[in-house]
Chains A and B, each alone.
Chain A
Amino acid sequence: NAGVTQTPKFRVLKTGQSMTLLCAQDMNHEYMYWYRQDPGMGLRLIHYSVGEGTTAKGEVPDGYNVSRLKKQNFLLGLESAAPSQTSVYFCASSYSPGLAEYTGELFFGEGSRLTVL
């Protein structure tokens, strides 16, 4: 059971560089999410997607872009990294609220630790 897989797990960037984090899920979930985790602040939602080809802004979207070209993948991009984007990034997925399996529970990846120098 792969579940939710994030790559890469670690990355160090210089200010101004760009990068993409990849999230893949094999549970056929409609909904996918990107969160960032910072000490004392819990998890904050960056962007989310309710289906292939759709994305929406979360609580802290500035400086990030996302794409959901395939149902199983959700990409998070940083076009010009800043030190304030140093964080641990988590991808998650869930069933659609319209399905009988839906309980609101999220399934998380193991995180991607990003350092911007």
Chain B
Amino acid sequence: AQSVAQPEDQVNVAEGNPLTVKCTYSVSGNPYLFWYVQYPNRGLQFLLKYITGDNLVKGSYGFEAEFNKSQTSFHLKKPSALVSDSALYFCAVRDGFKGSARQLTFGSGTQLTVLP
């Protein structure tokens, strides 16, 4: 079975400082990895994905994530946080075998608060 762990329920960071939101995963085959963001009273919005290729993936709003196969991690990062980045962030994984109908498994979410 595939699973995702987001070990921090809450991350606080000062505006202008770098931020990291952690994610580790477990999947039987090659992983497809995703980060989504949810603003209050809104649906989830796609940020970035890793399918194959470079381990450092760049996404929307200046976010990036690093795929580390040996550590089975896919941490979300941003060099300089903005107050507007405050939101709930979800990591998700699925098995990369396209022939299956296997679904995305989401982590429990990490609430990011950027302090002015």
User: Which residues on A are within 8 Å of B, measured CB to CB?
Assistant: 4, 31, 33, 35, 40-45, 48, 50, 56, 58, 90, 92, 97-98, 102-111
Contact = CB atoms under 8 A, between A and B. Distances in A.
Contact of B98 (A35, A40, A102): A102
Contacts, number: 61
A97 to B, nearest CB: 4
Band of interface residues on B: 20 to 34
B101 A50 contact: yes
B45 to A, nearest CB: 7
Contact of A42 (B34, B49, B90): B90
Contacts of B96: 104
Interface of chain B: mostly helix, strand, loop or mixed: loop
A111 B90 contact: no
Contacts of A109: 43
Contacts of B45: 108
Given A41-B108, A97-B99, A105-B46, 17 more contacts: A40-B108, A42-B109, A43-B44, A45-B103, A92-B44, A97-B100, A97-B101, A98-B98, A102-B98, A103-B51, A104-B51, A104-B96, A108-B36, A110-B43, A111-B41, A111-B42, A111-B43
